[in-house]
Structure 1
């Protein structure tokens, strides 16, 4: 696997993914019971947008750069930008937080986070970035295998009945990746059925995703919510036209808050022909 998220940090896909992630964390922490979060494809957790990798693609300028310059007035955007500013106050004005940093920022002292990264160099950097954070465990291993090993979560005498699993793979072989995602979630649901599962996916041609959506709808969950942000017209298989998040067992009213922010993100980050949508793949029950 050759994927490095440093080339894409802060792009439009990160904006969508991280806004949904923070909204989910805030909904979970609204109740006092402790929360466990598992990040299956964590990367290094913290990125420098003035580094060679990010500068080579310039993708952050069309994502977080544009949002900082023209922030729509929406509570979820404000929440996200507050986290960005908190990261930059600690790590410098060119920094951008990956999902492990955002989880550590959003969750509480008695919550726990497990992060997984398979690439040795990225895993070593992830461990270094969180060396002083006792709530965050770093595992240099395959994230899907970790779902089997770490769920249901129990740390010491604490059993975590509430939490989330973020699945954000590189999709180097997209159809095979969807097979692994469905299999891993179906297995995890037998052991931690009440957790919230968040799956990020890229969109080149949306119709190619229909088999994945049909399989998601068959999972034994209490609802499957889809949220998509297209920043380009859905007409080219050669680029990532947008991305989406599937949220299984979503917190109460997450659909309303996410549904409200998507058009604002579309208007700021999208070009002519951009679009957004939110819908239930499986109605809540």
Structure 2
């Protein structure tokens, strides 16, 4: 749905939980030397400025990443996530927050591959621009992957997931996180997951969904 912009919600408590789990999933995948493919069906913009008009409108980060920012007594797994966010803010000021594509980019290795999808035209362009800068920086540091490490497509990842599975490496981490602004997204997630598991049952699939009072949300987990 083209009305959803995650910039209004960047860094909120749901983002903290989602990206904390994502970091741990990447650490698990990285335990093996074999390369893997990360697939993000609804990527967003990749990086968010917390001082932007959108982010400050409701300032949801104040009850998300905000309370953790100056904490040094967090458990080690949470510190893994927190250190990633702090690394993109070298001034020490909480200015930028990573989306799931940025988390994946930082946690994956040169031999791993990222396949990113975003339907919103503005966010898709921002996502591509952000990764163009990141790849240029890597090249300056002498880090070059063999082949195209990151492929970004403007589109709905639901329709492309099936064709990407199984990946050449036979290892994959898939994040499915649509806006859920329309009820049909719940069905699309179930259908996409059914197809994906049918083609590649050994993949790791992370499905994010909102905890709301609406019936679709309350019954969603039981129907997966």
**Shorter-chain TM-score: what band?**
0.7 to 0.9
Measured at CA, do residues 27 and 10 of structure 1 come closer, stay the same or move farther in structure 2, by a change above 3 Å? same
**Structure 2 residue runs without a partner (length 5+):** 136-147
Deviating more after overlay: 205-214 vs 46-55: 205-214
Shift of 1:89: 2.8
CA RMSD, 1 decimal: 1.9
SS in 1 for 2:89: helix
What is residue 150 of structure 2 aligned with on the other side? 136
Matched, 1:172 2:177: no
Q: What's the TM-score, normalizing by structure 1?
A: 0.70
Query: Which residue in 2 is equivalent to 1:11?
Result: 12
CA distance change for structure 1 residues 206 and 20 in 2, over 3 Å: closer, same or farther?
A: farther
Distance 2:33 2:16 in 1: 28
Q: For the Cα contact (< 8 Å) 1:71–1:77, is it kept in 2?
A: no
1:166–1:199 CA contact under 8 A, matched in 2: yes
Instruction: Report Cα offsets for 1:86-120 as digits up to 9, x if no partner.
Output: 12239x85111110000010011100111100011
- Kindly report structure 1 stretches of 4+ aligned residues shifted beyond 6 Å: none
Taking the aligned partners of 1:202 and 1:12, their CA distance within structure 2 comes to: 12
Corresponding position of 1:199: 207
The answer to whether the aligner puts 1:25 opposite 2:13 as a matched pair is no
The unaligned stretches of length 5 or more in structure 1 are: 154-158, 217-285
| Structure 1 residue 149 displacement after superposition | 2.5
CA pair 19-206 structure 1, distance change in 2 beyond 3 A: farther
1:71 CA displacement: 5.4
TM-score by length of 2: 0.88
Report deviation, 1:73.
2.2
Larger RCO, structure (CA 8 Å, separation 6 or more): 2
Do structure 1's residue 152 and structure 2's residue 166 form an aligned pair? yes
Q: Distance in 2 between matches of 1:35 and 1:206?
A: 36
